Structure 1
Amino acid sequence: MAQRSELKFAYWVPNVSGGLVVSQIEQRTDWSYDYNVRLAQAAEKNGFDYALTQIRFTAGYGAENQHESVSFSHALLAKTTKLKVIAAILPGPWKPALAAKQLATIDYLTEGRIAVNVVSGWFKGEFDAIGEEWPEHDERYVRSEEFIRSIQGIWTQDHFSFDGKYYQFKDYTLKPKPIQKPSIEVFQGGSSRAARDMASRVSDWYFTNGNTVEEIKKQVDDIRAKAKENNHHVKIGVNAFIIARDTEQEAKAVLQDIIDQANVEAVNAFGDATREAGAASKEGEGNWAKSSFEDLVQYNDGFKTNLIGTPQQIAERIVALKNVGVDLILSGFLHFIEEVEYFGQHILPRVREIEQAAEIKDAPAPADV
């Protein structure tokens, strides 16, 4: 019987202070290394495949402290055995030669458990603060695509040469190359036309903000059609903030408490910055163009995915996302360690049961003998 691949699960690493909601509500989540080690160990014990570190250079929108993503990713890998950690990097502060060598070394030291999320950038103030160039919207994706082509070429070829607008290489050979073959997995995000087109050409994974099943399907179909034209395949990850409680009423009450206690100033400032960034795209909108104030309280539209309710409701909604082409759920939680454990005990088994039932249902009938 042909096996359909199991859905993968990732979680946002809270290596940035403030948690995953811009709210004054209590979050039993901490940005310290000790907390994150315990969280990573709990996550891999409870069925999570990936962890995604965040990249921030300056304070803002409730994130006053930030640990650097690549070194923090390596530190978490040193304390785990199965989890793959996705290190977020920004073209501009990082150059592809350094990133390729740095990540290849981590891959070698961790037996193939590092991945990379190439972030094209949305926070102009951050780039200005550290003296980095801020190309206009679509040019940032041109730079990111060159960055990805460069690191992939370095990881897979000897005597690599590349002559781009932003990066150039001549007869460069990196050794040792990564353990992972053909190379280290490359993730990216963004909802603009430029972001989706880049994913359809070069990325292994595409992250999209949270949304309804119907809207996610439109994005999946669009990217997969474009990728097919390019003889490329890209997998899809969807952001979701998960609130699982014994009853739907309890879960919805938690959501309302988060919104009622939102940091209004920080949410509005974040909304202004994202609208400014999106307005610079050719289509005049970006990731958060259709996000309400309530959506922006979870800054990657995680509430929109509606994984809020009982374990059974959430499991069914997760599989509905899989059925429209989603390969991975990128999860955020209010109280990370305890809710990751609750997810592993009460939601993930239900997801696997539904997946298995679907496989049995879709299996061909045995031939007559």
Structure 2
Amino acid sequence: MSHDPIKFAYWVPNVSGGLVVSKIEQRTSWDIDYNRKLARIAERSGFEYALTQIRFTAGYGAEFQHESVAFSHALLGATEQLKVIAAILPGPWNPVLAAKQLATIDQLTNGRIAVNIVSGWFKGEFTAIGEHWLEHDERYRRSEEFIRALKGIWTQDNFTFNGDFYRLRDYSLKPKPLQQPHPEIFQGGSSRAARDMAARVSDWYFTNGNTPEGIKAQVDDIRAKAAANGHSVKIGVNAFVIARDTEEEARAVLEEIIAKADPEAVNAFGDAARQAGKASPEGEGNWAKSSFADLVQYNDGFKTNLIGTPQQVAERIVALKAVGVDLVLSGFLHFQEEVAYFGEKVLPLVRELEARKLEEAA
């Protein structure tokens, strides 16, 4: 098990509808005032990262969406230590624009911006904004070129790149980011193409929610391939956290979320996600084995089972760390109060358990 403390990130609700496709009350808002306060609460509560979402069109309960890079900068202006991960979609962005945007934000915030490269899975969104829709593995080939171009622009002068999707000639970006060697690069996806890309170029790999056994198989696969490439990659896992004073309370909340799910929106999301997965060479994607209940939380966050008392949740987090997880990407029902509760009740227990495990191993 890693000697480094496990890290925590939260999903930024810069998109309306919260993090579950349900008509349950969610005391969460997509507006900037709510999110500035949330970012400060998260920073005080021990969260190192926040992840903004990129959506261009309404759907699946998300009627309104703030753009991720601008929103990330606003949150950085409201905090002092939190690092914000801006989601970027190759296609609408090109790497030169992204590199310049993020380098400027990095300079203005003393090195607190990161990027999540989203290869894209929703064809309807690309069609709506007039972007060419590539086949599954081609989207990941483009994303890999995007990342290689970002790294080159951020670390080299007179950078030349001759790819199938992007070409640069003797390009020098100044000023470069403060972070060395460059801002951290995250990505997600669970297809073979996604995992192989992470094993070659990404700093971090996000996986959907899963059991410790399922996550271990992914971690072992990616790290073995990364080592063969002379590369290393850290692992983040998605989890929807329901921490309450009793297990009964926590389970009741989960049951209510699912009971009040919006069937039309959940099924539409599931159909679109599975259609995208079938386009991969292996014929399945992130949500191939997801039930209706799993799909109520966009990225299978219920599967990670961080649902129960603070002690139960803390023990399950440390079990995730034991199989190679470096970061938990957390979603909540009522973000402000639940992030504060997590910081007060759960995180201290995680640190105690980590210290005990290290003592036992010594």
Normalising by structure 1, we get a TM-score of 0.97
- Structure 2 Cα separation of the partners of residues 22 and 191 of structure 1: 22
* 2:169 partner letter: K
- Other-structure match for 2:273: 274
- Other-structure match for 1:31: 30
- Other-structure match for 1:229: 228
When the two chains are superposed, the root-mean-square deviation of aligned CA atoms in Å is: 0.8
- Other-structure match for 1:180: 179
Structure 2 residues not aligned, in runs of 5+: none
The reply to whether residue 356 of structure 1 matches residue 355 of structure 2 is yes
- Structure 1 Cα separation of the partners of residues 283 and 156 of structure 2: 38
- Other-structure match for 1:258: 257
Give CA deviations for 1:306-337 in whole Å, capped at 9, x if unaligned: 00000000000000000000000000000000
Alignment of 1:137-152 (within 5 A): 137-152=136-151
- Other-structure match for 1:212: 211
Give CA deviations for 1:20-71 in whole Å, capped at 9, x if unaligned: 0000000000000000000000000000000000000000000000000000
The reply to whether residue 109 of structure 1 matches residue 82 of structure 2 is no
> 1:359 Cα deviation (Å)?
1.5
* 2:229 partner letter: N
- Other-structure match for 1:52: 51
> 1:3 Cα deviation (Å)?
8.1
- Other-structure match for 2:60: 61
- Name the SS of the counterpart of 1:217 in structure 2: helix
| Contact 2:2/2:321 (<8 A) preserved | no
> 1:358 Cα deviation (Å)?
1.3
- Other-structure match for 1:124: 123
* 2:257 partner letter: I
| Contact 2:43/2:81 (<8 A) preserved | yes
* 2:221 partner letter: D
The reply to whether residue 342 of structure 1 matches residue 332 of structure 2 is no
> 1:209 Cα deviation (Å)?
0.2
- Other-structure match for 2:320: 321
* 1:181 partner letter: Q
- Other-structure match for 1:6: 5
* 1:350 partner letter: L
- Name the SS of the counterpart of 1:82 in structure 2: coil
- Structure 2 Cα separation of the partners of residues 319 and 200 of structure 1: 24
- Structure 2 Cα separation of the partners of residues 83 and 360 of structure 1: 29
- Name the SS of the counterpart of 2:125 in structure 1: helix
* 1:50 partner letter: Y
Give CA deviations for 1:248-294 in whole Å, capped at 9, x if unaligned: 11101100000000000000000000001000000000000000000
Give CA deviations for 1:96-117 in whole Å, capped at 9, x if unaligned: 0000000000000000000000
C-alpha distance 3-297 of structure 1, shift in aligned 2 (>3 A): closer
Deviant stretches of 4+, over 3 Å: none
How many residue pairs were aligned? 362
- Other-structure match for 2:199: 200
- Structure 1 Cα separation of the partners of residues 88 and 133 of structure 2: 15
- Structure 2 Cα separation of the partners of residues 262 and 347 of structure 1: 27
| Higher deviation after alignment, 58-67 or 243-252 | 243-252
- Structure 2 Cα separation of the partners of residues 360 and 156 of structure 1: 40
- Other-structure match for 2:19: 20
| Seq. identity, % | 76
- Name the SS of the counterpart of 1:30 in structure 2: coil
- Structure 1 Cα separation of the partners of residues 152 and 222 of structure 2: 23
- Structure 1 Cα separation of the partners of residues 38 and 15 of structure 2: 14
| Contact 2:2/2:324 (<8 A) preserved | no
